[in-house]
Chains A and B, each alone.
Chain A
Amino acid sequence: MNVWRCWRTTRWVIGIYLLLLGYAVWRSIENGHVNIYRPFSNEASVWLQLSLISHFTAVAAWILGGLSLGRELADNSGAVLLSRPRSRSYFVWSETALVWAELLALIGLTSGLYLAAIRYQLFTFVTSHQPFPSAPLIAATHTQMEPIAAPLILLSMFLYTGLVYSVTYLAVVSLRRNTVGLVAAVGIFALYQWLSVKTAFFIDLPGWMLNPFTRTLQYHLAPHLISSIAIRIGIILLLTYASQFVLERVEIQA
């Protein structure tokens, strides 16, 4: 029902993302993919590379946030959805759950393809004796990463995209105009970045993306990692509850 409706609405974003991802992987294999030479731990190097790729996924999350129930309200289709015998929270959470699943799938696929691509490069490197393999290449293949590192990297990427989605979703549902909501969400991201720069001298505001590692030569988890993760999960849930709160008070007017 609603999950199917959401899938139908969002599938083109997933399709375009996969096409672009496929193209990026093909290009990286074709060109040789040597990006990071920083002498970080293996885990941090992989995270650094994937954190850059995460921005790509975050754009998908932003677009998915714009395709939410708020868009149906803007299109005057709110009456049909909200007159179905389901609670309004059902519409928020079923839609959100689907998009979270989609984001998880995209993140998993992106990371998996990235690692597969650099493994392929290692194979090319070994067989052709090319010099200077990339740090992520070594990280992913030459030495083993700590077992907890991969889930932490994936979790970090998911929390980042989840946060982008939740902010956008709330903006679109609150304003009930998807284009304005999308712009408002960008405004919020930009404002936070501006605040981070302005207050950098006094306070280190947390970034949108959680770095699970300290940037050292040795493998080290970032301090207060559990609380940072918990706070981000809390903010995402809070934003989703806020969207539910807004939707429960929405009135369909003539």
Chain B
Amino acid sequence: MSDLAIETQKLTKTYKHVDVVHDVSLAVPRGAIYCLLGRNGSGKTTTIRMLLGLAHPTGGNASVLGLDCKQNRLQILARTGFVSDKPLLNSMNGNELVKFNRGFYPRWSDDLVKKYADLFDIPLKTRFRNMSRGNQTKMWLLLALAQQPDLLILDEPTAGLDPVVTDELLRVLVDDFLRDGRTVFLSSHHIAEVERIADWVGILDHGKLILEARTEDLRADIRRVQVIGNDLSRMKSAQVLRSRESEGTTEFVLSHDADAFVASLESQGATVLQNAPMNLSEVFLEYVRKEEA
């Protein structure tokens, strides 16, 4: 059995001669929370739709839970929970949505329905279209959790949610779902909210995967270094993501080996004012800006 819950190789999707997703190669380890970050229109949702068989790849390969997406779509769907920001069946109330979904999944648990309906305080007698945005997302999550999937795919789960609901949702993912070694793959552009739970991140921009790394490695490796010295902004090195000169100081953003780079700066007579780690939001912005540059 593969150690990867999701694996794509050069996955590509073209709409009207435009590559919405281009040569994306993801590796999502089993048992991890993997967060696919990207701006609106960066290709996150299209990638997820291809994994679920809702869109057909133009090129490349994808496998989910060790199963090929083209050949084994139904087996994948049987073992994968999906949470979207799109409507469920609008005219059904919560109880009817449960009734509709129950028959599709052999591992369906009514106990979990009851547990999460109580925990999330979902009004199951209210029609989906009349539920608040937060309750709609909770309803999606309830249905996905009740099917007891091996993999949970969430497409922009925190979009439009208030901080309290977002916190509840993320807590359930970490405390309940991951406990049995299952995998969470979620897309978002609300980086600060997912930073505290993500084990792995991938950054997608203009359809291309520009970074994939463990979150703790990003925190450890990517650093902002501020120095005073002459002509430092011209220093070129593979680890320099960006350099900027301002008011007599030079700021470098380094992707790795910060200590070695700092040592080389100091050997040239530079004075290091700051050598600090960056949070995920800052990392995201640096990588996206680098791509644009």
Contact = CB atoms under 8 A, between A and B. Distances in A.
Contacts of B88: 77, 80
Interface stretch (A26-34, A114-122, A136-144, A246-254): A246-254
B84 interface: yes
Interface in B92-108: 92, 96, 99-105
B58 to A, nearest CB: 11
Interface stretch (A81-89, A153-161, A200-208): A81-89
Interface stretch (A1-9, A168-176, A178-186): A1-9
B87 A5 contact: no
Interface in B179-220: none
Q: Among B53, B84, B89, B105, find the residue whose CB has the most chain A CB atoms closer than 10 A.
A: B89
Interface stretch (B44-52, B111-119, B238-246): B44-52
Interface centre among B52, B82, B86, B91 (most CB of A within 10 A): B86
Contacts of A80: 84, 86-89
A252 B49 contact: yes
B133 interface: no
B89 A251 contact: no
B54 A79 contact: yes
A79 B104 contact: no
B56 interface: yes
A85 B100 contact: no
B55 interface: yes
Interface size class, chain B: 20 to 34
A86 B96 contact: no
A225 B17 CA distance: 51
B77 interface: yes
A1 B102 CA distance: 8
Contacts of A78: 54
Interface string A77-119: 1111111111100000000000000000000000000000000
Contacts of B100: 1, 4-5
Contacts, number: 68
Nearest to A249: B56
Interface in B203-261: none
A79 B89 contact: no
A234 B92 CA distance: 35
A252 B54 contact: yes
B233 to A, nearest CB: 40
Contacts of A9: 91
Contact of A77 (B49, B90, B104): B90
* Most central of B52, B99, B100, B105 by chain A CB within 10 Å: B100
Task: Name the residue among A5, A75, A76, A254 with the largest chain B CB count within 10 angstroms.
Answer: A254
A79 B82 CA distance: 9
A84 B53 CA distance: 11
Given A76-B86, A80-B84, A254 B52 contact: no
A87 B74 contact: yes
Interface string A36-74: 000000000000000000000000000000000000100
Interface string A234-254: 000000000000000001111
A82 B56 CA distance: 13
A77 B54 CA distance: 12
A77 B86 contact: yes
A251 B86 contact: no
Contacts of B75: 85
Interface string A2-18: 00110011000000000
Contact of A82 (B45, B54, B89, B90): B54
A73 to B, nearest CB: 11
Given A77-B87, A80-B86, A4 B54 contact: no
A83 B90 contact: no
A101 B35 CA distance: 47
B139 to A, nearest CB: 11
B54 A254 contact: no
Contacts of B46: 253-254
A85 B74 CA distance: 5
A4 B99 contact: yes
Nearest to B129: A75
B104 A254 contact: no
A133 to B, nearest CB: 48
B78 interface: yes
User: Considering the complex of A and B, which 5 residue pairs feature the smallest CB-CB distances, nearest first?
Assistant: A85-B77, A85-B78, A1-B103, A252-B54, A254-B45
Interface of B: 15, 45-46, 49, 52-56, 74-75, 77-78, 82, 84, 86-92, 96, 99-105
Interface of A: 1, 4-5, 8-9, 72, 75-87, 251-254
28 contacts: A1-B100, A1-B104, A4-B99, A5-B92, A8-B92, A9-B91, A76-B87, A77-B86, A77-B87, A79-B49, A79-B54, A79-B84, A79-B86, A80-B87, A80-B88, A80-B89, A82-B53, A82-B54, A85-B75, A85-B78, A85-B104, A85-B105, A86-B104, A251-B56, A252-B49, A252-B54, A253-B49, A254-B49
